[in-house]
Amino acid sequence: MSEPIFQRLHPLTMAVELEKMVRQLAFAVVYLVFMLVTKQESQEVSFELLAAGLGIVLVIPAIWRYLTYGYSVTDGKLLIKSGIIRKSLRTIPLDRIQNINLKRRWLHRILGLVELEIETAAGAQAEASINALGEEQAHVLKAQLMGQVATTYTRIERGQEDLVLYKPTGMELFLVGASENRAGAMIAAVLGLSFFQPMFTNFMETQSDKVVEQAKHLPPQTGLMIALGISGFLLFGWIISIASTIIKYYGFKLTEKDGKLKRSYGLINHFENTLPVNRVQTVHIDQNFIQKWLKICKMYVATAGGMAMASGGEHQRQQQTSAHTPPLLTPVLRDEMRGRLLQASLPLYDVSQPEYHPVDKGTIWRHIRSAVIGSIFSSALVYGGMQLLVKYQPKRAAQIPAFQLQYGPYVVFFLLMLLAALSGWLYYRFTRWSETNSVIANKLGWFKTRWNYLPVGKIQLTEVMQSPAQRWFGLGTVRFHSAAPAFKITEIDDLNLELAYDLANRTHDKAGETRDALFDGF
C-alpha cells in the first residue's frame, strides 16, 4: 500500500466557508443588524463590539478548516482528513459511492470554484463534502472517483458524447411553475419567522396597527377587500412559483453516458449530479389535474443515498435535516417522453405496459367502516355542544331554527358517512397496482395522480398489515420497504388478504434471488 498524498483545497475555500457560516448564523447576523437599525436608548450594549466578536468567531474556523483539510484518492479509496486537535480520517471505498454532485453556488461561481458532494448508502446526508476546488481540480477528482487514473485535466478520458435524454423548453418550465402555487409555503415561512423572532413580531404588530388605523377611514367594503387580498396573495404565490422554478431549473439538461445519469441546471446556483443507473431504487411520477390537462408531469428517482438532487440554494438547510425531500429527476416532463425516461432510469426492466389490477371492491365498505367511530364521535360533539347551548344560552338557541337543533347531529353523521363512501369509491375507482416484469407498480389518486415503480430486486422487506376495519372484510395492506430514504415505502392498500400474503411472500423470495441482491439491493 502506497502512502497517501493529501491534497489541499483551493485557498478561496476560506471565503466560501465564511459565507456558509454567515448563512448558518443568519439569525444572529440579522438580529444584530436589526438591533443596530432600531437602536434604542435603553440598550447599553456596544453593538460594534458584538459585531467584531461575531466576526472573529466566523473567520477563525474558516482559516482553521482550510489549514487542516486534505483529501486523497489511493488504492481505490477516498481518504479525507480533517482537524488538528481532534483528528479524523474518513475512508470511503470508491465502489460504494452512490452518487457525486457538483455544486456551484453563487459565490462559487463568482470565485470560479466547485463543491463536490459524495454520497454512499449510509444515510440521507452526503458522506463527504469537499467544499471548494478549482474547476480543473474538481474534474480530475471526479474522474478519479469514477475509477479513472487521471492526474491532470487533459488526461481525463471523456469517451463518447453524452446522450441528451431530456431538455425542457423554457415554455415547459413556465408551465410547470404556473401549474403550482407556493402561497402555502410563503404563509408557513412568515409564520415560522414570526415564531422565532419575537422582535420581528412586535415590529409587525406596531406596523399593522398603523395600517388598521388608516384602514378605518376607508369605506367599509370589507368583503371586497378581503377577497382582493386573498386573490392578490394567491397571485403573488403563483408568480413566485413560476419565477423560482425558472431560476432554479434554468438550462436544465438530463444526459446519459456509460450507465450514468447526469443532470445540470441552475441560473444563480448551478448544480450537477451524476448517479449510476443501477443504483436507482424507485421511480415516481407526479401529475396534478392542471398538469394532466397540459400533458406534463414531474419525475422523481430515489437512490439509497440521500441524493441532494432536489437541492436548490435556499432549501439547502431544510434538505440536510429532512430525508424526505423528493429527489427530482426532472422538474418537468412531456407525457410522451415518459417511456423514454422510465427506460433510462430502470433499463433492466420493461415498465412500458404494466398490467394494472384494481384493488378489492371491499375497500368501499372498509372506508365506511373506518369512518363510523369518527363520525359518531363528531356528531356526539355537535349534540353535546347544542345541549350546552340550550342549557346556558337559551336566548341564542331560540334564534336557531328548531330542525337544526333537532337533526343537526344526524345530518353531520350522515354527511361524514357519505364522504367516507365517496372517498372509498374514489380510491377503488382510481387505484391500480401491477407486478409486471418484476416491477411493483401502482397508481394512486385522482386529483393528483402518482405513479410508483419499485423493482422487486430492490425490496428490503415486505410486510402485510391488517387494521381492525380491514379484518371485517378480509382485506390487508401490502407494504414494500426499499432502501431509499425518501420513498421508503410503496404501499398497496386493501387487497384481498390471501392475495396480500401471496404477493408479499412471493416478492420477498424473489428479492433475495435477483442479480441486484449481489449489491445488497443498493
Partner 1 sequence: MGDRIDIKSWKNLEPKVQTLWRVTNGIMSLVISCLAIAPDLIIRNLGTKWPLFPFALPLIAFVVIGGLTQWIVGKSYQCYRYELGENDLGVAKGVFWKSWRFVNRNRIQHVDLTSGPVARALGLVEVSIFVGGMPTAAVVIPGLSMSEGERLRSTLVKAADVPNPMETPATSELAPPPMQQWEPPRE
What residues line the site for partner 1 (CB under 8 A)?
A: 95, 121, 256, 258-259, 277-278, 304, 336, 339-340, 343-344, 347-348, 459-468, 471, 481-485, 488, 498-499, 501-502, 504-506, 508-509, 511-512, 515, 517-522
CA distance 419 to 445: 16
Name the residue nearer to partner 1 (CB basis): 81 or 479: 479
Sheet holding 88-93, edge to edge: 70-74, 77-82, 88-93
In angstroms, what is the minimal distance from the CB of 282 to partner 1? 11
Sign of the alpha-carbon torsion through 142, 146, 147, 153: negative
Nearest to 269 by CA among 321, 325, 308: 308
Name the residue nearer to partner 1 (CB basis): 393 or 467: 467
Please identify which residue in the block is written with the cell numbers 386573490.
Answer: 231
Spatial CB neighbours of 181, under 8 Å, sequence gap ≥ 6: 234, 237, 238, 241
Name the residue nearer to partner 1 (CB basis): 81 or 340: 340
What does 184-224 look like in DSSP terms, one character per residue?
Answer: HHHHHHHHHHHHH-HHHHHHHHHHHHHHHHHHTTS---HHH
CA distance 21 to 133: 18
In angstroms, what is the minimal distance from the CB of 510 to partner 1? 9
In angstroms, what is the minimal distance from the CB of 110 to partner 1? 38
Name the residue nearer to partner 1 (CB basis): 286 or 502: 502
Backbone torsions φ then ψ of 333, nearest 5 degrees: -150, 130
Under a CB-based contact definition with an 8 Å cutoff, are residues 145 and 100 in contact?
yes
C-alpha distances in Å from residue 415, one per residue of 368, 420, 426 = 12, 9, 16
Name the residue nearer to partner 1 (CB basis): 153 or 501: 501
CA distance 251 to 297: 18
Name the residue nearer to partner 1 (CB basis): 141 or 511: 511
In angstroms, what is the minimal distance from the CB of 165 to partner 1? 9
In angstroms, what is the minimal distance from the CB of 423 to partner 1? 20
Residue 486 burial class via C-beta count within 10 angstroms: exposed 0-12, middle 13-18, buried 19 and up: buried
CA distance 253 to 168: 7
In angstroms, what is the minimal distance from the CB of 422 to partner 1? 25
In angstroms, what is the minimal distance from the CB of 441 to partner 1? 18
In angstroms, what is the minimal distance from the CB of 359 to partner 1? 17
Residue 460 burial class via C-beta count within 10 angstroms: exposed 0-12, middle 13-18, buried 19 and up: middle
In angstroms, what is the minimal distance from the CB of 279 to partner 1? 10
Name the residue nearer to partner 1 (CB basis): 353 or 406: 353
Name the residue nearer to partner 1 (CB basis): 142 or 458: 458
Name the residue nearer to partner 1 (CB basis): 21 or 459: 459
